[in-house]
A and B are shown apart, each in its own frame.
Chain A
Amino acid sequence: AQSVTQLGSHVSVSEGALVLLRCNYSSSVPPYLFWYVQYPNQGLQLLLKYTSAATLVKGINGFEAEFKKSETSFHLTKPSAHMSDAAEYFCAVRLNFGNEKLTFGTGTRLTIIP
């Protein structure tokens, strides 16, 4: 079975500061990993995904994430936070065969301080 842990249900950063949202996964087989963002009253939008092609993945809106197998981590970063980044962020894992469901973490709410 696969699972995802997101450390920190709430993260606050100042505008222009580094954003770091943590995600650790557990999977018995090589996983595929995803980061989604949810703005208030909206659906989930894919930010980026890791599908074993490259360990450093670049996504939309300046976000990137690095897959570290030794640390079972897939942390999301952005060098400089913008007010429009305020949202809830979800890390998700999917096995690379069999059931194709996404298993989500509990989410991290990002607040940007002006």
Chain B
Amino acid sequence: DSGVTQTPKHLITATGQRVTLRCSPRSGDLSVYWYQQSLDQGLQFLIHYYNGEERAKGNILERFSAQQFPDLHSELNLSSLELGDSALYFCASSPGTSGSQETQYFGPGTRLLVL
């Protein structure tokens, strides 16, 4: 158990809908990262938040957005969903105090299926 929790575990929805994925980082971690894992794209970095502020963006679609709240949990919002958005979405956290050598601890993921 990494200490990172993600809800829900599974999500089935229809095209055009909007969903929210939630992540609670490990106690004390200030950095939260979101990744998407799909069969055709592999593991791709989406976005990084540090202590409530956006730090970096990766290959994140404009239909997707995220935020980190004062209690440090994070939400990833996916809207106007398409079939191709079906994937496993991971959240990872790290302390955020030691730079790039820090280990990122991954949650169990949310499996999204868009029908």
* 52-77 of chain B: CB within 8 A of chain A: 55-56, 58
Point out residues on A near B: beta carbons under 8 Å: 32, 34, 36, 42-46, 49, 51, 90, 94-107
With A and B bound together, what is the CA distance between A95 and B102 in angstroms?
Answer: 11
Known A42-B108, A104-B42: A95·B100 in contact at CB below 8 Å: yes
Is B45 a contact partner of A102 (Cβ separation < 8 A)? yes
Closest chain-A Cβ to B110's Cβ sits at a distance in Å of 10
Asked whether B109 is an interface residue with its Cβ less than 8 Å from the other chain, the reply is: yes
With A and B bound together, what is the CA distance between A46 and B2 in angstroms?
Answer: 10
Is A45 a contact partner of B106 (Cβ separation < 8 A)? yes
Among candidates A42, A43, A101, residue contacting B33 with C-beta atoms closer than 8 Å? A101
Main secondary structure of the interface of B (DSSP, over half): strand
Asked whether B86 is an interface residue with its Cβ less than 8 Å from the other chain, the reply is: no
Point out residues on B near A: beta carbons under 8 Å: 2, 4, 31, 33, 35, 42-45, 48, 55-56, 58, 90, 92, 94, 99-109
- Candidate in B31, B45, B55, B92 with the most chain A CB atoms within 10 angstroms: B45
Known A102-B45, A104-B42: A97·B107 in contact at CB below 8 Å: no
Among candidates A42, A46, A90, A105, residue contacting B103 with C-beta atoms closer than 8 Å? A46
With A and B bound together, what is the CA distance between A44 and B31 in angstroms?
Answer: 17
With A and B bound together, what is the CA distance between A60 and B42 in angstroms?
Answer: 24
With A and B bound together, what is the CA distance between A55 and B68 in angstroms?
Answer: 36
With A and B bound together, what is the CA distance between A100 and B32 in angstroms?
Answer: 11
Query: What are 7 contact pairs spanning A and B, CB under 8 A?
Result: A96-B101, A98-B100, A101-B58, A102-B33, A104-B42, A104-B44, A105-B42
With A and B bound together, what is the CA distance between A97 and B64 in angstroms?
Answer: 26
Closest chain-A Cβ to B50's Cβ sits at a distance in Å of 9
Is B109 a contact partner of A43 (Cβ separation < 8 A)? yes
Is B2 a contact partner of A102 (Cβ separation < 8 A)? no
With A and B bound together, what is the CA distance between A50 and B81 in angstroms?
Answer: 38
Is A101 a contact partner of B101 (Cβ separation < 8 A)? no
With A and B bound together, what is the CA distance between A44 and B106 in angstroms?
Answer: 6
Nearest residue (CB) in B for A99 is: B56
List the 9 closest pairs (A to B, CB-CB), nearest first.
A51-B101, A104-B43, A101-B45, A43-B106, A44-B106, A43-B108, A99-B56, A94-B100, A100-B100
